[in-house]
Amino acid sequence: MKLRVTSYSGAATGLGRLLMLGTFAWLSGPAFGQMKLIENGLGQSFSQLPFVSPTNFSDSLIEQARQTGAVRDFCQQVKVQYQRYKWLENPCGNVKWRADLHTRLGRPLIYAEFGTVSTETTLLLGGVHADELTPINLAFRFARYLDEHPGIAGAQAHVIIAPLVSPDGFLRQHPTRTNANGIDLNRNFFTADWYDKAQKIWQQNRRRVLAHFPGYFPNTEIETLFQIELIDRYRPDKILSIHAPLGFLDYDGPGSGVLRPLTSTEAKAKRLVKAISESSQNYKVVDYTFYPGSLGNYAGNERHIPTVTLELQTTDPRKCEAYWQQFEPGISQTIRYPFVRTPALDLPNEIDNATPFSTQYPQKIGKKTI
């Protein structure tokens, strides 16, 4: 029996040698039988696996090497696209990006994690509409900023950043609002009003403009499921999604658009957007209604997660430096804002809201539910 170990980076060379020397001694041991080497962004770590054989262990190394290469190739593609807009920085920097899912065109859906898991979690999203260029630059830059200044998150905050939710829409000659399937990702979430209103609003209010097409069914797009998975996995206390070019801050969440007196939790959540505004040169604040299938409706309205949309004033790529100077303090304020997610008693029934990524998701086989 032979075990083939592949070292796929300089950082892994020493580990590869160690595994080769000790594999046969460990292979029969219960501890090693529960582990496999996986790719963690551009680094490595261990995770549990029910059983490891010489074959699937070797295959896992090869597969993770492919994933590493895919992320690096993807970052290079994004860098080339950056140069078209005269953005000279390296978008991915030295951030340890992760990618569990891939788009229809095979591009990795990358995200990164910063700070301490035990603290409050903020989810930051960019590039949901890939023709909105300035939010992509701002989200990538903030990820590099946290990576270069770990003390900003550190023990104070836990941050998840997905800077380019729609890479297929961005990596084109002319970036598009929709993904490769022609779907508006911010209208594709399965919200309670989707079947009643999504198609109707698109046909009547949007006059069937393809850039706003919500899809024939909700939750059809891998990019939509990617965002849902991040929400289910990390259970963020607050969400900031960056868009352009409407020029305001829009709050969606507990207490948004209601006429009744707010609970203390709702009032504190709503003050979040005011804090961001004050840190961003008193940026304009609005309170829009919810669109069927939007993130604000799905996360903010239905799941009571304070969700703020930062709408930059323009998609003009020449404005990126000015936007960084204006909004970095507000984004930093978002991750530091002391808000713990609404207590479970105030939330809708978790089983009713469960998704395929949730531990509460009921799977029925015959008459049994597991």
Give the per-residue pLDDT at 55: 58
For 90-346, which CATH class? Answer: alpha beta
Largest CA distance in the chain: 71
191-226 in b/e burial notation, b at 16+ Cβ within 10 A?
bebbeebbbebbeeeeeeeeebbbbeebbebbbbbb
Q: CB under 8 Å, gap of 24 or more: what pairs does 357-363 form?
A: 357/225, 357/228, 357/229, 357/232, 357/233, 358/232
d(CA 103, CA 110) in angstroms, rounded, equals 11
Query: What Å distances lie between residue 100 and 104, 121, 124, CA to CA?
Result: 14, 20, 17
pLDDT per residue as tens digits for the range 87-146:
999 999 999 999 999 999 999 999 999 998 888 999 999 999 999 999 999 999 999 999
Q: What's the pLDDT at 289?
A: 80
pLDDT tens, residue by residue, 202-248: 999 888 999 999 999 999 999 999 999 999 999 999 999 999 999 99
Cis status, amide bond into 245, omega within 30 of 0: yes
Q: What are the residue ranges in the chain where pLDDT is below 50?
A: 1-52, 343-370
User: pLDDT value at position 62?
Assistant: 61
| Contact residues for 185 (Cβ-Cβ < 8 A; gap 6+) | 128, 129, 165, 166, 178, 179, 221, 223, 224, 227
What are the extents of the domains in the chain? 10-68, 90-346
- Which pLDDT score, from 0 to 100, does residue 231 have? 97
Name the residue with tokens 């959540």: 269
